[in-house]
Structure 1
Amino acid sequence: MKFNKQLSNGGLFLPSAALKISGFEDSGQVEIHALKNTAVIMKQQMTAMELIQALDSLNQLFINLSFHLAKTCGACSGCEGECPFGDFEYDKIELDDDLRKEAGIPTDAKLSLYVDEEDHTITVCEAGYDHDLRDIPPYLLEMMAFSGICLGELEERLIVGDIIYGGSTRSRKECEDE
């Protein structure tokens, strides 16, 4: 069961109903696993069956989130290497810190590469966005591709920074304008 709560003064109050559904006793100890963009609260001590049930619950959440992502991005239409969104074979682009400084590009900025075949030149510049497919761990990207998720649509949503979970789907710009 999902509960939506507003953070208050940097803290979070858990409803007693959520604790009861989760099987937490009133005076039991809990572990809080703080992870990227998520937190998991677990009993500090569990029996083998409780641990298996926790694993199953986390697996179901993983499946539900994966399904949501697949539904949002749509299915790959079987472009078979000719995706209209482009080529997803990326090499990591690196520049010496001194060159970045001279060009005014922050050391942590993502870089893009543009090839001009006529002039036989390559232009390296700041990408102007925070994330693309290169930021997805390879095992997850492979799983998404195998599942038939449209990687082109996924990359578009990564580049634009769309909010794709929770409420209506909105672009990052729409959220910032509010």
Structure 2
Amino acid sequence: MKNKKDQNEPELMLPECACSFCGFTEEETLEIHAVRDVLIILRDKMTALELINAIHALSEIASGLTVDLAKACGICNHCGDEGPELCKGINECDESCASLHGCDDGPVEWVANCSLCHDLLDESQNIHIPDYILEAAGIPKGTKLEAYADGGNGEITVVEAERQSGITDVPPSILAILAQSGVCLAELDELIMQEAIIYGS
């Protein structure tokens, strides 16, 4: 099989058993989609059913990865805030239990009512400094910033954040799905900042 690529790029060798399982033949030309942290190999020409099978497979993989991420973060439990105690098992909660513990709302409300998770979704919490000031300070555009107050003298100091990865790097569509599922966004932010391995052995 041939790779659809520039002539200067190296040949990509694929395991024969994997190609056989996928139904790829030596006569076919394959398309490589390379994006950050992902490499996808598809036929460069597909029938409607082949395209549907590709969509279905990618959707299943995406769903599985989302479940892995949600398990690592856990369900929001108000992140230590004093608030209504949530049931440990959503499936075990009946109407009387929900009324007793104040958890008769859904996952969206769990995240919305958590001050830490809510602040992470609040755009007003982000620090915005004009580009010309960043340039004068020698801070590259797009750098994450943090601020702290210098006592009670009315001054605020803004500096380059020690950690440049955080929840703001998560695409809004993914963040919305996680928030609507009750996933703890504060824990997600912590996992991202720690660069913790949460997938694989």
Q: Calculate the TM-score normalised by the size of structure 2.
A: 0.68
Which secondary structure does the structure 1 equivalent of 2:119 belong to?
Answer: coil
Contact 1:83–1:152 at 8 Å: present in 2 too? no
- Counterparts in 2 of 1:136 and 1:43: CA distance versus 1, 3 Å: same
- Counterparts in 2 of 1:12 and 1:117: CA distance versus 1, 3 Å: farther
Matches within 5 A, 1:92-111: 92-111=126-145
Task: Say yes or no: does 1:41 pair with 2:41.
Answer: yes
Q: Calculate the TM-score normalised by the size of structure 1.
A: 0.76
Q: CA deviation at 1:51?
A: 0.6
Q: CA deviation at 1:12?
A: 5.3
Which secondary structure does the structure 2 equivalent of 1:145 belong to?
Answer: helix
Contact 1:31–1:42 at 8 Å: present in 2 too? yes
* Higher helix proportion: 2
Moved more, 111-120 or 138-147: 111-120
Identify the residue that residue 64 of structure 1 maps to in structure 2.
64
1:90 maps to amino acid: E
2:141 maps to amino acid: T
In structure 2, C-alpha distance between the alignment counterparts of 1:11 and 1:115, rounded to whole Å: 56
Q: CA deviation at 1:109?
A: 2.0
- Counterparts in 2 of 1:99 and 1:76: CA distance versus 1, 3 Å: same
Would you say how many aligned residue pairs link Structure 1 and Structure 2?
158
2:114 maps to amino acid: E
Identify the residue that residue 121 of structure 1 maps to in structure 2.
155
- Counterparts in 2 of 1:142 and 1:84: CA distance versus 1, 3 Å: closer
Q: Give percent identity, aligned residues only.
A: 37
Identify the residue that residue 103 of structure 2 maps to in structure 1.
none
Could you say which structure has the larger radius of gyration? Answer: 2
Q: CA deviation at 1:101?
A: 4.2
Contact 1:90–1:134 at 8 Å: present in 2 too? no
Contact 2:149–2:157 at 8 Å: present in 1 too? yes
Unaligned runs of 5+ in 1: 1-9, 168-178
Which secondary structure does the structure 1 equivalent of 2:25 belong to?
Answer: coil
In structure 2, C-alpha distance between the alignment counterparts of 1:104 and 1:31, rounded to whole Å: 42
Contact 2:111–2:183 at 8 Å: present in 1 too? no
Identify the residue that residue 4 of structure 1 maps to in structure 2.
none
